[in-house]
Structure 1
Amino acid sequence: MDGGRGAASVGALILAATLTPTLPAVAQSQSGPLPPIRVEAPPEKPRAVSQAKPKPVASQARSASGAQKLPPIDVGGARRSARVAPVRSAVVTASTVSTGTAGAASTGAGSAAFAAAVANVGRNPTDVHGYFAGRISTATKTNTPILDIPQSVTVLTRQQLDDRNSLALENALAYVPGVTVAQGERNRDQITIRGQNTTADFYIDGIRDDAEYYRDLYNIQAVEVLKGPSALIFGRGGGGGVVNRVTKKADGETINDLRVVGGSFGRKRVTADFGRAITDQVAVRLNALYEQSYGYRDFDKLERWGVNPAVSWKPFENTFVLFNYEHFRDRRTVDRGVPSFGGFQFLGENIYPGYPLPTPRSAFFGVGNPSVRDVNYSRINMDRAALVIDHTTEFGLNIRNQFAWANYDKLYQNTFPDQTLGQVSQQLNPALNGLSPMTITPVGVARLDGYLAPTPRRNIFNQTDLTYKFEMTPEIRHLMLVGTEFGNQWSFTGRDISRFNNPLNGPRRLTTPFWAPTVYAPVFFDNFFDTATRRWNTNLDIGSAYVQDQIEVTKYFDVLAGVRFDSFHMRFNDGITFENQSRLDNKWSPRFGLIFKPVEIVSLYGTYSRSFLPQSGDQFNQLPRSAASLAPQGFENIEFGFKAQLLPTLLFTGAIYQLNRSNQALTLTALTSVLANTRTQGAELGLTGNVTDEWQVSLGYGNQDARVVSSNSAFNPRQPFLTDVGKVNPSVPRNTFSYWNRYDVSSFVGGGPGVLGLGAGVIYASSFYPSLDNRVIVPGYARIDGAVFVKVTENISGQLNIENLTGAYYYASAHNNNNIMPGAPRSAYVTVNARF
């Protein structure tokens, strides 16, 4: 590891964060006139006949979980339709919110204006009503109506997460169209977005959160899913899209919420959310979690806890400082599911596929000596701190700096099935000018493998954004963003391969009858001299600059254009062979979108964007050997779509797209790796929000076809039909559908709003291949969920969630052909919310 370069990078980042508070003073000292640009608010344009402002929905009042209830806040100079909620593009800063709130008695902590300003500075979704969110900042780094963003966006609000009892990120994403939740070897979040598998495209408040672990939602206000390449905002990766978690901020509201969950498989969970204004300038908030749960799989256990204090400070009228720190621990049993059975390959061609091995859904395949939980476990200790300083000058320039540091102490250890049972194959034998004898893997025997893998990481990032709104003519208005991002990431990837029975010369793998899948033979992982052992250190320096312009060209057209430059310098050291390698990539990532608004409530858009991913991969563990000489992978997305605000808080969206990925390193078989080009073509529909005051919906449909279109794979004389061209990408169901409803039925029982509600949902996914060889098919499934909501008093409420109402046996996810996870049986969970 290059310690000097790493230390210099860290020093530069700390210096940047230290100098940030001086920016307002410097900016104000330069605040003279700026001809010929006029920065005063533009005149209002004619608007359609106004309608009454939407009433709050029955379930909109702030719940014990802290769901937002603030009405939309009109900001100075923003163009708001009198008919509906959307606001045309405008800079929404702390100062505009604070001074633009009609009738606000105070702008200090504890006021509605303070809360709204913190939400904007913290880049939380705004204009939130139940399941509906009208504006977000993540897609453009400016508070922009979703209607004016030329990209597919899904926002899961806090109320929607609570209503579905989504406790972790994997639960929340199950209802997002175009997103498939993969198994992640049961030690991390792993998803497929638009045919692109990722373990790293996760963010928290817009900062990269790419370590491998399971993310809880106890301190999260909303989850935002942006689809398609987003390199202009986020940099490398994100080829299929990104997932951003937005944290709960110290907004000055008085919050004393307690939430307790209990139910099937011994689940016990409690979360707390406390917040208040300390003075007119300071607000604090504390979120905390503890959970201990078991599962439907044999030997499964989970224990996690976290604490997240946050502070908001307004030292001056146009300046905000936000700070938060999180400590989070998670330890769980690692269970990688069941193997597959059957299938026939002839000369490399799949004649008929295999399927998951039919076993009891609780059966654990692995080693349990001295106990399953001692051998198979994952643990992470995560610490993260973030500081945001936001200032708006007198002439309207917004300066925002965010510094974040995170340390992830991660390790996992597991044993798992690694071979398909009863798989038949036949090859040519060129020496005999004929066919080789058929081979068949053991029919009644499962083969087990294992390893131990420490994967710690440390991230340091600093982002600085300058945002300015101006107009060149009365009809052409600009919202300009200029920014930089600097970062350093250190990672270690270790791996010790298993030895069974004897630590020196015991077998690497062990077999067991599939009807006795849990083995109690001793297993050892201290194998430093094994050829598969890893001791890899990587140190990555990142430097980026970007510019974006949101241009309003009359009331009918908007243009979004921008470009980002990334310098990606990675250094690699192998602690066993002492091999040192490095690679420097400099890449440009453009983005262009055109929006046409025939009427105020409808937008039609087309967009083009590009992104890249270095050959080191998501987790920087592919640079050794030949990867260091390979050019980065590329992503190119072309998308056309529409968004329509059918009602003031009901959004209907749709998109068609083609996503091309080039120079992708793929593994066709255990012995064959290739560089390939893949293409995903698809369409999505979504409907989210409030149909009536009583009825809220979240509906999504996705259709996608992701496959290899070309590669450099060589001809195999033993398997002449073997090719990756035409193969379907793993974990990509052709069709996905989700539909969740909540209906307030209080009027039927003579109660007030929110006294009694019913929820119902369905998740459907068609069949998919768990590996690129397409030799195994995971069947499709449909799962039906339900819920009942009761308000006992103004301060106490409860809900019952039932997942898989019909008790269907299905397979929920997979990592490869032999790590396939059965879905949970019928499960019931009771939640009690208390405010005091």
Structure 2
Amino acid sequence: MKITLKEVNWLKNLKIIVVFLILLQAPILSAQNYSSQILGITKNQSDKIVGNATIQIKGTQLGTSSNDQGRFSIAVPSGKITVIVSSIGYKSLEKTVILKTDETVSLTFELKKNLEDLDEVIINAQVAKEKVAISSGSATKSNISLMNTPAPIVVVAGYLLDQQANSTIQESIRNVSGVTQAGNNYNIGDNLIIRGLDANYAYDGMYGGGSLGNTFNPVRSQTNIEKIEVLKGPSTGLYGMGAAGGIINLIEKKPLDFEQYTLESRFGNWGHYRIMADLTGPLAKNLSYRLVSASESEEGYRDISSQRFETYGTLRYTTKKQELTVSSAYIEDAVQIDATGNPVRLITPNVLGDPNAGGYSWENLQNDPTLDKNGNFTGLQLSDDQRKTLANSLLNSDGTEPFDIGDATLVSPLSTPNEGVESRIKLRHEWKPSAAWTITNQFLYRNYKSNYVRQTGALNYVYWATSGVINDDPRAPLVENDVLYPYAARRQEYRIVDAKEKMFQYFGDFKNTWGAENKFHGEHMLSINFENRDINFTQYNTWDADDSRATNPVPYIYDIRNPNWGSGSIWDYNPILGTQYEKKVKAWGTGLQEVLYYDKFTARMGGAFLGTIQNYQDIYALGPYVDFDDSGFAYNFGLNYRPIDQLSLFANYAAGRTVYAVTSSLDGDDRPDSESLSIDFGLRYKSLKNDFLASVVFFQTATTNLQYSNDDYDDDPGSSAYNISVPEYFYDQENRTRGVEIDINYAATNLLSFNANATFQDPKTLEASTVTNEQSTGVPKTYARLWSQYKILIGKNRNVMSLNFGVNYESERSITGYGLNAHVDEYVIYDTALGYNLSKNWNLKLNVANLFNTRYYIKAMYAGGLPGETRNFQGTVKYTF
């Protein structure tokens, strides 16, 4: 890991200060534990559940929030305890009880409407104020409230997902600072990044696919998602194997103990439709269920089609001290892959003259003059007319920006969607043997398989110099029968992939809440995890005539603006087996976390040992097993200071373990372990009524010890650069991002609310401490998003109409590949939505994405850019009873 001397000194000073503060308070420790417990439920005067209410123990920083069934539990010291319950739109309510040691008391809080906050009583009756998420729930696996958490966490409430009619997590990232699309040439799965670095995915804290370079993971649906929690930076063992950027934790819908049934239908552009049913309620006194099922299909903009069928089932059994949940998921999806997007036309810079001074000169397109040993020209020789044809086809943006092919697409009909089938079953058991102890055990089995035909490579060579040779065929314009095709695409490759992954995961979390009646208390937490994955991967390949291995070449694309395609099936072109391997991954970890509370301070520190062993065997080449061990320690230290209830300041330092994709290097050497490092300084501010929450975080995040190739290495004895005595790879590359993140959630009134976030960052790539890439490929330096809602009351029945407006801004991003110095432009996209409650049960909604039909690129890809959708209408009808 590489940090500056200044940062090292700062970290030393921070650790000394915090240790001093802890030692200073040590004499006041008491042996009396928080052995008593308060169980509660929050309702309103109509006996309806009030979820997400804030629970605070008066005179302390002890606090929690009620769940979606209005229930909560909190460990407290014995003696006289005053509980304060508050929720937006209701008056705060206090109750005082006297508890004996090890006693458990159950309380019911009946909250009354707060009419003073409303302009009219009728508004209170018709319009519910949106809830600002002020608790993280499960991101840190502790009882710590969001305002006391010394770590960068963003929570996306479910109402935002519903307003925006989001179907996938890719659409939901607009609500979180620091998260954006990755730039690569696969476009398989979500491919999201946090702070320019890799992200992991979890469902309620358990593995959700991704990492280890598996590019065949699914596009994660939002159908069964209640809210999203993003924990940025290394997770330090809380979630097992970690990614440097952080964890995207998807909180799934849970059974309710009252009946609720929702039916939904959605339709829109490009043949889009979706039907969904969400059913929940009690089956017996302590048993409840939830069943969610949806079917969705779309022909897709630019033929990027998608289909999905999904079903989720959950049973939950609760007693006074135990909760047992069994959940399952089955998803079939088929998402077309656009690995090329709009390609950049390949032109060697600085040879064409100045286009702004009268246009390109065809005379500058000189043929390569060098001869080989047989006296033949090395590069393709073009006639004057052919060079004029090339010059006439050029645009000022060629070579630096993607070439806009309009609504055409380079997704070949010979390719097929990524057809995935995923099944998951999870068992969760939570046991509270006493008021101070909580023991949670979770078991997950996941099976995912995928197959697709992906087209990669559709390169439009115009005038290209490589290795000192101009137009070294096939890296040259396409000429057939003396006819030059200036817009032709060459060096096509099709990859036929069949991939399978089976995995088992166990998480055990053991938590003890301790403390005394004084201000010093805390939590001991022990986490244990184990997972075992088996991955099988097979790939066949076929090519156009530019590759000598093609026995029956696919046709050249003669014009990327109006592509011609081969007929029949990809198997008609004699693909050959190119890759077949088995990979086994065993990972385990043991972590300790300690949360300390004293007066206005909260400290969180922990360490974990994470072990990961990967075994790889190349079955196709009958190669030996290759083992890699990425085991090592991870640790974190954070301090939060809350001078007043509304304001908190925090600092966090975390070092984690990341895991190499074993296929990235098969040289048999055990590489230096890849590590991640994050330093955060932040502040949070909330209003007294909990209707406003804002955070600002200054950060530096990096992943280190990355592999990159040594340019001096060449193992070809026939090459003039032959030099096998030098290392093939170096392992001191670092991807580093520094910046600031801003998140704001504000429910201003019952009628007006908005969510806004912005990220200003400087993502770089360094090799041996030397900056080699001033802007990490595909990562924007600035992006900002806003989503707002305003409600009005219509008609005699005062039915609610909601007006939504959103905006997305993303700055310029760089494109890599083939020595390009190219980019995709910045863009601003506007969205809107209109909702109307016909009655208590019926709701209508119209969402319009890309309102002004802006042309933009959603991803900066490998030698190209992926065009975003044009204006898109979606109508939704929802019936709830």
1:410–1:266: structure 2 CA closer, same or farther, 3 Å change rule?
Answer: same
The answer to whether the 8 A contact 1:740-1:761 is kept is yes
Range with greater deviation from structure 2 (145-154 or 238-247): 145-154
C-alpha RMSD of the superposition: 3.6
Select which of 806, 815, 818 maps to 2:861. Answer: 815
Does residue 257 of the first structure (1) align with residue 303 of the second (2)?
no
Does residue 490 of the first structure (1) align with residue 534 of the second (2)?
yes
Deviation of residue 562 (structure 1)?
Answer: 0.5
Select which of 29, 34, 42 maps to 1:39. Answer: 34
Q: Secondary structure at the match of 1:541?
A: strand
Structure 1 distance, partners of 2:632, 2:684, is 32
Does residue 394 of the first structure (1) align with residue 434 of the second (2)?
yes
Q: Secondary structure at the match of 1:174?
A: helix
Structure 1 distance, partners of 2:73, 2:616, is 51
Instruction: Give percent identity, aligned residues only.
Output: 18
The answer to whether the 8 A contact 1:708-1:729 is kept is yes
Does residue 408 of the first structure (1) align with residue 462 of the second (2)?
no
Deviations 1:343-375 (A, max 9, x none): 54579xxx9983443334421114335xxxxx3
Q: Secondary structure at the match of 1:232?
A: coil
The answer to whether the 8 A contact 2:180-2:193 is kept is yes
Does residue 379 of the first structure (1) align with residue 419 of the second (2)?
yes
Query: Paired residue for 1:597?
Result: 642
The answer to whether the 8 A contact 1:322-1:389 is kept is yes
Does residue 734 of the first structure (1) align with residue 734 of the second (2)?
no
Query: Paired residue for 2:234?
Result: 229
Does residue 635 of the first structure (1) align with residue 679 of the second (2)?
no
Q: Secondary structure at the match of 1:506?
A: coil
Structure 2 distance, partners of 1:359, 1:527, is 29
Does residue 274 of the first structure (1) align with residue 279 of the second (2)?
yes
- Where does 1:19-418 land on structure 2 (aligned, <5 Å)? 36-40=31-35, 75=74, 77=76, 99-103=105-109, 130=130, 132-182=132-182, 185-198=186-199, 201-211=200-210, 212-298=217-303, 300-314=304-318, 316-336=319-339, 337-342=341-346, 344-345=348-349, 354-369=399-414, 375-418=415-458
Q: Secondary structure at the match of 1:102?
A: strand
The answer to whether the 8 A contact 2:229-2:250 is kept is yes
1:544–1:248: structure 2 CA closer, same or farther, 3 Å change rule?
Answer: same
Q: Secondary structure at the match of 1:160?
A: helix
Structure 1 distance, partners of 2:83, 2:654, is 29
Structure 1 distance, partners of 2:198, 2:33, is 46
Select which of 646, 649, 664 maps to 1:622. Answer: 664
1:101–1:220: structure 2 CA closer, same or farther, 3 Å change rule?
Answer: farther
Query: Paired residue for 2:482?
Result: none
Query: Paired residue for 1:16?
Result: none
The answer to whether the 8 A contact 1:696-1:741 is kept is yes
Range with greater deviation from structure 2 (182-191 or 503-512): 503-512
Query: Paired residue for 2:816?
Result: 771
Select which of 701, 710, 720 maps to 2:767. Answer: 710
Deviations 1:448-489 (A, max 9, x none): 322111221111001111111111672211111112001101
Deviations 1:554-584 (A, max 9, x none): 2x11100011111111111111122211123
Does residue 692 of the first structure (1) align with residue 749 of the second (2)?
yes
The answer to whether the 8 A contact 1:180-1:191 is kept is yes
Structure 2 distance, partners of 1:252, 1:804, is 40
The answer to whether the 8 A contact 2:244-2:702 is kept is no
Paired AA for residue 309 in structure 1: G
Deviation of residue 521 (structure 1)?
Answer: 4.7
1:80–1:72: structure 2 CA closer, same or farther, 3 Å change rule?
Answer: farther
Query: Paired residue for 1:650?
Result: 692
Deviation of residue 585 (structure 1)?
Answer: 3.1
Point out 4+ residue stretches in structure 1 off by more than 6 angstroms. 53-56, 67-72, 78-87, 501-504, 526-529, 667-673
- Where does 1:500-519 land on structure 2 (aligned, <5 Å)? 500=544, 505-507=551-553, 510-519=556-565
1:361–1:479: structure 2 CA closer, same or farther, 3 Å change rule?
Answer: farther
Query: Paired residue for 1:677?
Result: 734
The answer to whether the 8 A contact 1:497-1:525 is kept is no
1:294–1:352: structure 2 CA closer, same or farther, 3 Å change rule?
Answer: closer
Deviation of residue 249 (structure 1)?
Answer: 0.9
Q: Number of aligned residue pairs: give it.
A: 719
Structure 2 distance, partners of 1:625, 1:74, is 54
Does residue 573 of the first structure (1) align with residue 613 of the second (2)?
no
Deviations 1:197-217 (A, max 9, x none): 45xx11111011124111111
The answer to whether the 8 A contact 2:295-2:310 is kept is yes
Structure 2 distance, partners of 1:564, 1:229, is 12
Does residue 446 of the first structure (1) align with residue 480 of the second (2)?
no
Q: Secondary structure at the match of 1:777?
A: strand
The answer to whether the 8 A contact 2:35-2:103 is kept is no
Deviation of residue 586 (structure 1)?
Answer: 2.3
1:197–1:400: structure 2 CA closer, same or farther, 3 Å change rule?
Answer: closer
1:560–1:414: structure 2 CA closer, same or farther, 3 Å change rule?
Answer: same
Query: Paired residue for 2:657?
Result: 612
The answer to whether the 8 A contact 1:665-1:674 is kept is yes
The answer to whether the 8 A contact 2:583-2:614 is kept is yes
Q: Secondary structure at the match of 2:302?
A: coil
Deviation of residue 129 (structure 1)?
Answer: 7.0
Structure 1 distance, partners of 2:45, 2:166, is 27
Structure 2 distance, partners of 1:817, 1:98, is 64
Query: Paired residue for 1:743?
Result: 790
Deviations 1:788-817 (A, max 9, x none): 110001100111100011011111113312
1:237–1:79: structure 2 CA closer, same or farther, 3 Å change rule?
Answer: farther
Deviations 1:23-67 (A, max 9, x none): xxxxxxxxxxxx944224699xxxxxxxxx9999xxx999xxxx9
1:437–1:822: structure 2 CA closer, same or farther, 3 Å change rule?
Answer: closer
Paired AA for residue 799 in structure 1: K
Structure 2 distance, partners of 1:130, 1:55, is 19
Structure 1 distance, partners of 2:870, 2:540, is 35
Structure 1 distance, partners of 2:651, 2:275, is 45
Deviation of residue 376 (structure 1)?
Answer: 2.4
Structure 1 distance, partners of 2:346, 2:782, is 25
Structure 2 distance, partners of 1:494, 1:239, is 28
Does residue 804 of the first structure (1) align with residue 850 of the second (2)?
yes
Structure 1 unmatched runs, 5+: 1-34, 44-52, 88-95, 106-127, 370-374, 429-435, 713-722
1:230–1:343: structure 2 CA closer, same or farther, 3 Å change rule?
Answer: farther
Q: Secondary structure at the match of 1:755?
A: strand
Deviations 1:315-367 (A, max 9, x none): x32011001011110013222322112554579xxx99834433344211143
Structure 2 distance, partners of 1:523, 1:270, is 32
Structure 2 distance, partners of 1:545, 1:495, is 37
Structure 2 unmatched runs, 5+: 1-29, 53-65, 94-101, 112-127, 211-216, 352-395, 478-485, 715-727
Paired AA for residue 311 in structure 1: L
Deviation of residue 771 (structure 1)?
Answer: 2.7
Deviation of residue 745 (structure 1)?
Answer: 1.6
Bigger Rg, which one: 2
Structure 1 distance, partners of 2:807, 2:273, is 25
Query: Paired residue for 2:835?
Result: 789
Paired AA for residue 572 in structure 1: Y
Scaled by the length of structure 2, the TM-score of the pair is: 0.75
Paired AA for residue 566 in structure 2: Y
Paired AA for residue 612 in structure 2: F
